[in-house]
Amino acid sequence: MRLSGIHLAGIATHLPELYPTARAVEEGLYDEQDREESGIESVPVAGETTGPDLAVRAARKALARSGHGPEDFGALLHSSVHFQGPDGWSAHHYVLRHTLDRPVTAVEVRQGCLGMLSALELAAGRLMAAPSEPPAVLLTAGDNFSTPLADRWRASKLFLLGDAGAAAVVSRRGGFARVLSVGSVSAPSMEELHRGGEPLFPPGPTVGRTLNLEERREFWRREWARGVPPPMGNFGDTVAAAAHRSLAEAGVTMADISRVCHVGFSQLPLQASFLDPLGIDEKRGVWELTRITGHLGAADPVAGLEHLWRTGQVGAGDLVMVIGASPGMEAGCAIVEITVPRGTEGEGDHA
């Protein structure tokens, strides 16, 4: 979707204390060979701080940087990957209460690790379609994977799970960057890959089944060995399709992109699923960050963009691709143009 007049007025990430992967190996939580192959040096671990509270901490920073007050917001969109709190409870209204504290709609965007990019698309559509409504939407995300139902070290060989909160203020009024386009492409024929033979009912968590994507991948290896082909498709093609679509809608090419913010996959999966399909190397991405944070769930896109912006690695006129993915399979992409000279405090003040 090509956008007009949509800005990022403030972004922020809240990262708990980093937990070195070498320490996890020493404590028997992680295998040394897996650590070496992943290239991941640490992940943030939040202890007992909840996902919604991580989101609140990030949101307060983003709001302070945005130059917007609570009265400027017409909605809050909250994303998460893991459990947020009591069953039947509204985490998104908890985040709303502890940030804007306004009687506006709060919605949970359950789009897995693509949640914040999907929320950006929803926010942009709302702001463009209703110019008489308040000029901003608050996006938040927060996850703490320190629960008995998730083993951050062994749930998947594609990534290590890191805890984080993230937030972004999307605004018609201005900001430090313009969002030129945003959208996604899915390959629904591949959805079975993340089921891996697991029954749909009763849902796994209700009977104590843990998150184990490696187990589901192993299911398809066994099926293939006995002559049953797995769902076919190349996820890298889906990533490339999402990127090319957003580039075309923004009226630019990959050669115009200064940096790429991607998900926090381990080194080889990142190369195969994102870097190679996009035709870029690690230096053009944000591996310098993700190698110390791992995969932050839905917070990855904001964490990468904030890192580039706050460290001054991108400035006025630079184009940044923000790309992510979720089970489904689906990939999403946004093209962002930085519009102020450098990463400074009070992004919204430069609008």
Residue 196 pLDDT: 82
Cβ atoms of 102 and 96 closer than 8 Å? yes
- The domain in which residue 322 lies consists of 180-187+234-343
Cβ–Cβ under 8 Å, residues 159 and 268: no
Residue 226 has a pLDDT of: 81
Omega before 202 within 30 of 0, i.e. cis: yes
Residue 351 lies in a domain: no
Q: Assess whether 240 and 197 both reside in one domain.
A: no
- One domain for residues 119 and 43: yes
Query: What pLDDT sits at residue 344?
Result: 52
102 and 41 in a common domain: yes
Number of domains, the chain: 3
Cα–Cα dist 205/80, whole Å: 16
Q: Is 166 helix (H, G, I), strand (E, B) or coil?
A: strand
| Position 349 in a domain | no
**Distance from C-alpha of 301 to C-alpha of 344, rounded to nearest angstrom:** 19
Indicate whether 348 belongs to any domain.
Answer: no
Enumerate the β-bridge partners of residue 108. 78
Alpha carbon 183 to chain centroid, angstroms: 14
H-helix or E-strand spanning residue 181: strand 177-186
Note the pLDDT of residue 176: 97
Can you give the pLDDT of all 351 residues of the chain as single tens digits? 999 999 999 999 999 999 999 999 999 999 999 999 999 999 999 999 999 999 999 999 999 999 999 999 999 999 999 999 999 999 999 999 999 999 999 999 999 999 999 999 999 999 999 999 999 999 999 999 999 999 999 999 999 999 999 999 999 999 999 999 999 999 998 888 888 888 889 988 889 888 888 888 788 778 778 887 777 678 899 999 999 999 999 999 999 999 999 999 999 999 999 999 999 999 999 999 999 999 999 999 999 999 999 999 999 999 999 999 999 899 999 999 999 986 554 444 333
Contact 243, 278 (CB under 8 A): yes
Question: 213 and 241: one domain?
Answer: no
- 159 & 79 share domain: yes
Helix (H) or strand (E) holding 238: helix 235-250
Residue at 2 is within a domain: no
In this prediction, residue 210 carries a pLDDT of 86
Domain holding 32: CATH number? 3.40.47.10
Quote the radius of gyration of the chain (alpha carbons, Å).
Answer: 19
Check residue 248 and give its pLDDT: 98
203 shares its domain with 168: no
CA 336 to the chain's CA centroid? 15
242 with 140, same domain? no
Say if residue 29 is in the same domain as residue 126. yes
Phi-psi sector, 197: left (phi>0), alpha (psi -120 to 50), beta: left
Residue 99 lies in a domain: yes
Q: Cβ atoms within 10 A of the Cβ of 126, count?
A: 17
What is the model's pTM?
0.93
pLDDT of residue 231: 72
For residue 121, tell me if it sits in a domain: yes
The reported pLDDT for the residue numbered 350 is 34
Whether residue 200 sits in one domain with residue 323:
no
Show the tokens assigned to 290.
Answer: 């993700």
Residues 103 and 248 in one domain: no
Cα 319 to chain center, whole Å? 19
The DSSP H or E segment spanning 222 is: helix 213-225
Distance, CA of 120 to CA of 300 (rounded, Å)? 14
In a domain, 161, yes or no: yes
220 and 238 share one domain: no
Instruction: Return the number of other C-beta atoms located less than 10 Å from residue 299's C-beta.
Output: 36
Q: Do 70 and 210 have their domain in common?
A: no
